[in-house]
Chains A and B, each alone.
Chain A
Amino acid sequence: MSANTLSRRDFLHAAMCSSAACVRLSCSALTVSALFVAAGKTMAETLDTEISTINVLNPDEAADLAAIAARIIPSDETPGVTEAGAIYFIDYVLGSSRSELLAPVREGLVALKARSEEIFSQSDLSRLAPFQLDALLKEIENTGFFAMLRYLTVCGTFSLPEYGGNRDMTGHTLVGFDHRHVWAPPFGYYDADYMARGE
């Protein structure tokens, strides 16, 4: 990565700062693409330059999928898919253990982009406002295509970072899963209370 390229960490920091500002000012302003724009880049540009490990998806596909994933597990008061870098995971598995999903994902994206163009006159999903993308996803939430995207998004958020997503254990931290190899009692509130009471 060149010195004048925004590092991923710097980018996320900027994005999160923007996110916080957006939340304070207006919920409707909280879009993934807006975060990228706030960071000085479009999402496609960012993916093109920032994510050097996107090998299977083209930049537009990656941007679209990242935008969709960011609505499935949004970044709001807490980090979501974007911070977890699930798109890296999605790209990785679409080129390996889930290669059979690549064609259906691409086909589904083409159809969804067409629908977006029809409704919002905008086929670039990463440039839609969140409520627009949510409306689109609501239309397809019971389809196999959406189930695939949800599956990939969730797995990318909660798999080990070595597969590309769950960066800095973002997904695990989100749900309160502290990934340690050794624990000792008490494990939770009720067994601590049980011990304290001598039950």
Chain B
Amino acid sequence: MAQAPFATRDEVDFVVIGSGAAGGIMAKELSEAGFSVVVLEQGPHLKGPDFKHDEWAYTQNEELTWGRRKGHPQTFRRYEHEKAEIVDGSALTYAHNVGGSSVHFSGNFWRLRPIDFMERSVLGPISGTNFADWPITYEELEPYYTKVDWEIGVSGQMGPWDPPRSKDYPCPAMPVKSSGVLMERAAKKLGWTAYPAPVAILSKAHNGRPPCIHCGFCNGFGCEVSAKSSSMAAMIPLALASGNCELRTLCTVSRINTDASGRANEVLYWEADGTEQAQRTKAVVLSANGAESARLLLLSASPQFPDGLGNSSGMVGKNLMFNGSSRVAGLFPEPINAHKSIPTTRVIHDFYSIDPSLGFYGGGGIDSRSLTAGRPMAAALQNPVFASSNWGSEWKQNLMREFTHTCSFNGHCTSLPLSTNNVTLDPEVKDKWGRPALRTTFMNHPDDFKTMEFFMERSVELMEAAGALEIVASYNKTGQTGGVHLLGTCRMGNDPDSSVVDKYNRSHDVPNLYMVDGGSLVTSGRGQPTMTIMALAFRAADHIKQAARKLEI
């Protein structure tokens, strides 16, 4: 092991817990500003050459996402009176590696729109939910969205479909795929607009990274050429180059300690071999994602913070949101080859806000994709889409026809924040380190179901207009059982009684503790939250740098 630049007993300026979408940005911004930073990441530092087109390893053996097979079981239940059961794989899915889920995500990069930040004021309350306005506006966040565009690297085409933006995309839109052409042509027939999908994948060389080679292994896989704009590819190298950042991988945090005055002063963690360490620090940035950050706060309970660190509101872990979804598969007469290139090249936002007169809350977008992220094993494993059996010659014939000739118009939509949807510590199940397992309690709000159904119906209309030979439509009618968008569990707000962090992602309770990840989202947006998570991180970093220089942390 190389000589560590920082000793654990020496107080560093910041410990950043997690190196994902937000953590990578926090590490880069704070270290480049001259602060000493230690990043603790529980996974390894995989880079481009480490990634493979290996479905068995990545999708079945959880090489990146870990889960039960890797000693990290999770439990799930619908309602709080039920006993949670261990799930196969993970309910809350995220990658365990430097760059976090920004490494294996699909790269769809939608900005939120002005309405997202003030929807509660526009629409009024929704009974039984924690539906609320954000403490910030789109205008306040817009400069940071643009910062993400240019520093992280986003491809897209500026147009009337965009929310207001101060600067064009740094890279032009990716080449349209057949699935996108089918969507675009169908949308025109219906009077809707399918526009080039903004993606965190480079269409041309940018910031020293090469453009996409269209290999098709984006969703669920790491990019072999670093064209995908993960924080691993775009931010971590800059943080390390600053000379002020030490990245400690395979280090699993067990708790955040506080001093007598209630300030965070030490982060405890295990190294890979189980050795316990404690890093002293002036401040902590918790960017472990919407599941892990909540768990760590709950695990850091003390006599001073009996309900968990930073949890005087009781909101830590609550308001878990995933984004709803629907899927409409279409079979076409000619080859689509949706497995090639990036997941999606066209998106429709004509229904960003569903007409309230329909009697329910919701909104979203529709994009054009492969049915199974373009993976042959996944296509064969799933329930047959256009066949009646799942084995034998007939099924095989269908599989041969389906794989290259199908695409999917997927709905991505709102989820409402509920106190009863949450992340807690499982009272019985432990992970390999002996920590209580993540326990998810989740049942969609009735409006979530109506919204998913609405988007499924619109996608069916699109598929019909696109001329699909056969159409199969679905959404989860019994309720979602997990997700990859882990939102709302450390919600942002001005009121310390109903939120966990303030408008700069600072804990209401612990002045030198910041929670910066998907947990801080107040509402779910319409899907694809990573762009917003990254913009919030840049914004929080700006605030932290200013506050730290004024000794106000």
Contact = CB atoms under 8 A, between A and B. Distances in A.
Interface in B383-422: 390-393, 396, 399-400, 402-404
A180 B60 CA distance: 21
Given A80-B396, A175-B399, A187-B178, A155 B213 contact: no
A171 B55 CA distance: 13
Interface string A178-196: 0111111111111111100
Nearest to A181: B215
A159 B213 contact: no
B381 interface: yes
Contacts of B428: none
Given A74-B392, A134-B392, A190 B376 contact: no
Contacts of A183: 213-216, 340-341
**Interface size classification for chain B:** 35 or more
B377 A154 contact: yes
A73 B56 contact: no
Contacts of B334: 188-190
Contacts of B391: 71-73, 137, 141, 150
A184 B396 contact: no
Given A71-B392, A72-B392, A181-B215, A151 B381 contact: yes
A71 B389 CA distance: 13
Interface in A159-186: 159-160, 163, 171-172, 174-177, 179-186
Contact of A187 (B53, B337, B399): B337
Interface string A48-71: 000000000000000000000001
A73, A137, A150, A177 interface centre (most CB from chain B within 10 Å)? A177
A5 interface: no
Contacts of A189: 178, 334-336
Contacts of B175: 185, 187, 191
A157 interface: yes
A168 B52 CA distance: 18
A156 to B, nearest CB: 9
Contacts of A141: 390-391
B380 A157 contact: yes
Contacts of A199: 181, 184
Interface string B320-337: 000000000000101111
A11 interface: no
Contacts of A176: 335, 337, 400, 403-404
Contacts of A171: 376, 380
Interface string B35-60: 00000000000000000111110001
Interface in B159-199: 175-182, 184
A45 interface: no
Contacts of A180: 215
Interface string B5-49: 000000000000000000000000000000000000000000000
Given A182-B213, A182-B214, A184-B214, A76 B393 contact: yes
Contact of B393 (A74, A97, A154, A160): A74
A5 B338 CA distance: 43
A78 interface: yes
A193 B339 CA distance: 18
A158 interface: yes
A174 B338 CA distance: 16
Contacts of B115: none
A172 to B, nearest CB: 6
A97 B377 contact: no
> What are the 8 closest A-B residue pairs judged by CB atoms, nearest first?
A188-B178, A189-B334, A190-B178, A158-B377, A159-B56, A175-B403, A183-B214, A188-B337
Given A137-B391, A186-B178, A191-B178, 4 more contacts: A155-B56, A158-B376, A188-B335, A191-B175
22 contacts: A73-B396, A78-B400, A134-B392, A137-B391, A141-B390, A141-B391, A150-B391, A155-B377, A163-B56, A174-B400, A175-B380, A176-B400, A180-B215, A181-B215, A183-B213, A183-B340, A187-B178, A188-B179, A189-B336, A190-B336, A191-B181, A194-B176
Interface of A: 71-74, 76, 78, 80, 97, 134, 137, 141, 150-151, 154-155, 157-160, 163, 171-172, 174-177, 179-194, 199
Interface of B: 52-56, 60-61, 69, 175-182, 184, 213-216, 224, 332, 334-341, 376-377, 379-381, 390-393, 396, 399-400, 402-404
